[in-house]
Every structure is written in C-alpha cells, then in structure tokens.
Amino acid sequence: SYYNLTNQMHYCSNVIQELVQFQRCDLHRLDEGPSVQTVLSREDGLRYYRTMQTMRRMELRADQLYKQKIIRGFFHLYDGQEACAVGIEAGISPMDHLITAYRAHGYTYTRGVLQSISGRRGGVAKGKGGFMHMYAKNFYGGNGIVGAQVRFPLGAGVALACQYQGKNEVSVTLYGDGAANQGQIFESFNMAALWKLPCIFICENNKYGMGTSVERASASTDYYKKGDYIPGLRVDGMDVLSMREATRFAADYCRSGKGPILMELQTYRYHGHCMSDPGVSYRTREEIQEAGSKSDPITMLKDCMIRRNMASLEEIKDIDAEVRKEIEEAAQFATSDPEPPLEDLCKHIFYNDAPLEVRGTHPWMRLKSIS
C-alpha cells in the first residue's frame, strides 16, 4: 500500500481523520501535478468503502443472474475497477457531466440509475432497454459504439455546451484503452484544445481491449501522452484516494479556463471483456489472482482504515452484511418484477406528443404510442 500515516486525531476509539500519502502521478506537459497526500475522514472512508463494496457485490450477483439467463445480451462487468468510478465522483460535483462507454455499471450506480438490466417493468427504461439505456441529469449513459461517446456532439460536445452557457462545469468523458487509438478520439482532442473546452478525457486502462493486451494493440502504451499538446497525467486507478485527488486537480485545471486535460487510469478488470469471454485465454488465472491479492481497491482501503484505527473489523463486517442484504433484495426484485407487456412496446417513442398508432410486426396489428 502507498498509504503512510503522518498525522492522526482521536475521537472516542476511532481516528476521525488522517493525513495519508499515495503514489505520485506521472505527468505530461504539466509543471506540477496533484498532491501526493490528502486528508481522509472516517466518514468519507466508510462511504467510499460501502460504495465500492456495493458495486462489487452487485457485479458478482449480476454474473450469477446472467448465467441463469435472467439477464441477456451484451454485458460488461466492472469488478476490479471500482476505485475509478468512486474516486472520480468524489473529485467532481454532481452538477458536472459524465459520459462513458459500455462498461458503465459503476457510473450508473453512482449516478443513481442502475436499474433495468434484467428487462423488467419497474426499471427506469420500463424493461425496454438494458444498462446502456440509463440516463440521469448530467449523466449521458454508457455508449455501445467504441469511442463514439468521446467525440462531438457527445463528450466533447457537452464540454462545448458548458463553455457556451457560461457554466462552471466540466465534462468527464471516459473511454477504454481499446478505443484510445481511434481517429475520432484525436479529432475530439484537436477541437477541445483549439476551443479550450472544459473536458476531462479519461482513459480507463484495464490492460486489455477485448482479448488483446495493450502491448499488442498499441505502439505506445503511455495513454496519458496521446493528447500530445493536451496535458496529461497517469494515475493509480486502484487507489480511491489517488483517484479523488487527481480528479480534483483535473477539474480545477479545466475550470480555470486552461482547456482540456487527459487522465490515464491504470486499473484491472477481474472478469472477461464481456460475459461471453472467460477472460483466461489471453491471460493466466495466476495473473488475475495476483492483481486481486496485491492491489484490490476495496481491500486496500479497508486495510488502510483498520490499520489506522479509523474503523474496526466489526464495522467493516457489518457494512459487508448490509450490502449483501441490499443486493440480494435487489436481485429478488429483478427476478420477481414482471416483464413489460406487448402493448407497452411502442410507448414513449415520442416525447410530449399526442397518442398515435404504430404498425406492429404485421400490417394488421396496431399498437398505441403514448408519450
């Protein structure tokens, strides 16, 4: 662990806050980067732990539901990368904007819209869309076309809207290492730099694009330097505190009017690329186990807090039990809630429009579309 005790304050039997240190970021075209130390409060630490543990349990339970054929279609799990989503959200405001690719479950959870993955009527998309069809205020979903969420008018376009409307907000635009060499990414970099848009381009480098390692796919694996004329930093994506401070630094940079910045998050996915990928044909089981044992983001934060008396093992176990119960209740709802009926198929095609008839699967069947 990169955490190092430098100061502590006692409240009852627990430390209420502590100054901790972590790994320095690698920098590109920056004279100085994020601080290598920050104050972690007991309250924040427990909240980060609960959120990451909820994501982890959620993904493991979703894996089971998929194998039971309750969840269908393309499905990309986020376990192993929890510190990225939690650290990013901790470093920005809920009023800031976020758009990501299809490995979106962490962000749909932090933005409060993770429902519908089992295609049931009670979900936010009323059972007619999966995890790539969830949106909320200032959250523009997980996008299925590789790299498309970065370009205009999406990720970079949202940054243009922030600038045009004079809002002190940033656009957090995420993509994976597999998309990092696409032309549309570099087109977006160019326009964002020309117009000095408040955009944080974030590459979640989990070491593998589908089944191909970054070394086999990219002539340069320094993704934080790929913006060339755009400053960049490479962050330990397995450390939630390093993630938080780096994101704060990047957001402050954008808000100051200096233009876009690029972040590369060094992280790791435990599952395969998607549920059809066992994830062990291009890497060994030993590699996955080593990543989980040496740099797991949840274990690192838990050990940090227990070792420094910021939380007890009993508290952690209580949180784990509460999370397991919450996830199991959600899974029960996901399996017991009814699927949408056929007559709902054509509803909500148009927004705020008069009802109209829509032709169904054959010319004689008519369905009603209601806004």
Alpha helices in 259-312 (DSSP H): 285-295, 297-307
The residues, any chain, with a CB within 8 Å of residue 139's CB and separated by 6 or more, are: 97, 98, 99, 107, 108, 111, 113
Residue 312 is predicted with a pLDDT of 96
Q: Determine the distance from the C-alpha atom of residue 68 to the mean position of all C-alpha atoms in its chain, rounded to a whole number.
A: 25
pLDDT above 90 (res 152): no
Within-domain flag for 314: yes
The residues, any chain, with a CB within 8 Å of residue 339's CB and separated by 6 or more, are: 119, 120, 121, 127
Same domain, yes or no: 53 and 74: yes
Same domain, yes or no: 354 and 207: no
Distance CA(255)–CA(199), nearest Å, equals 9
If one compares 199 and 341, the residue with the highest pLDDT of the two is: 199
Q: Determine the distance from the C-alpha atom of residue 354 to the mean position of all C-alpha atoms in its chain, rounded to a whole number.
A: 37
Helix (H, G, I), strand (E, B) or coil at 205: strand
Phi-psi region of 14 (alpha: psi -120 to 50; beta: other; left: phi over 0): beta
Same domain, yes or no: 183 and 235: yes
Over 223-258, what HEC string results? HHHCCCCCCEEEEECCCHHHHHHHHHHHHHHHHCCC
The residues, any chain, with a CB within 8 Å of residue 330's CB and separated by 6 or more, are: 58, 61
Distance CA(59)–CA(61), nearest Å, equals 5
Distance CA(203)–CA(262), nearest Å, equals 8
Instruction: Please say whether the beta carbons of 109 and 132 come within 8 A.
Output: no
Same domain, yes or no: 327 and 364: no
Same domain, yes or no: 347 and 213: no
Within-domain flag for 5: no
Helix (H, G, I), strand (E, B) or coil at 65: helix
Residue 7 is predicted with a pLDDT of 37
Within-domain flag for 100: yes
Same domain, yes or no: 209 and 303: yes
Same domain, yes or no: 71 and 208: yes
Mean pLDDT of 88-108: 96
Whole-number Cα distances in Å, 161 to 1, 199, 237: 40, 11, 28
Same domain, yes or no: 316 and 217: yes
* Nearest by Cα to 200 from 234, 172, 235: 172
Average pLDDT of the chain, as a whole number? 91
Name which of 107-121, 233-247, 259-273 the model is least confident about: 107-121
Within-domain flag for 1: no
Within-domain flag for 285: yes
Whole-number Cα distances in Å, 37 to 19, 146, 366: 7, 35, 63
Same domain, yes or no: 88 and 203: yes
Whole-number Cα distances in Å, 258 to 29, 30, 194: 13, 12, 11
Instruction: Please say whether the beta carbons of 289 and 227 come within 8 A.
Output: no
Mean pLDDT of 100-104: 95
Same domain, yes or no: 57 and 145: yes
Same domain, yes or no: 307 and 184: yes
Distance CA(320)–CA(318), nearest Å, equals 5
The residue segments making up the domain with residue 366 are 343-370
Within-domain flag for 15: no
Per-residue pLDDT of 49-86, as tens digits, reads 999 999 999 999 999 999 999 888 889 999 999 999 99
- The proportion of the chain whose per-residue pLDDT surpasses 90, expressed as a percent, equals 76
Within-domain flag for 12: no
Whole-number Cα distances in Å, 252 to 73, 94, 150, 339: 39, 15, 20, 45
Number of domains in the chain: 2
pLDDT above 80 (res 33): yes
The residues, any chain, with a CB within 8 Å of residue 95's CB and separated by 6 or more, are: 138, 169
Phi-psi region of 348 (alpha: psi -120 to 50; beta: other; left: phi over 0): left
Name which of 118-122, 160-164, 208-212, 308-312 the model is least confident about: 118-122
Mean pLDDT of 353-359: 74
Instruction: Please say whether the beta carbons of 231 and 252 come within 8 A.
Output: no
Using only C-alpha atoms, what is the Rg of the chain? 22
Within-domain flag for 14: no
Task: Residue 199: give its domain's CATH number.
Answer: 3.40.50.970
Per-residue pLDDT of 195-247, as tens digits, reads 999 999 999 999 999 999 999 999 999 999 999 999 999 999 999 999 999 99
pLDDT above 90 (res 314): yes
Instruction: Please say whether the beta carbons of 234 and 222 come within 8 A.
Output: yes
Same domain, yes or no: 198 and 347: no
Instruction: Please say whether the beta carbons of 32 and 231 come within 8 A.
Output: no
Mean pLDDT of 291-315: 96
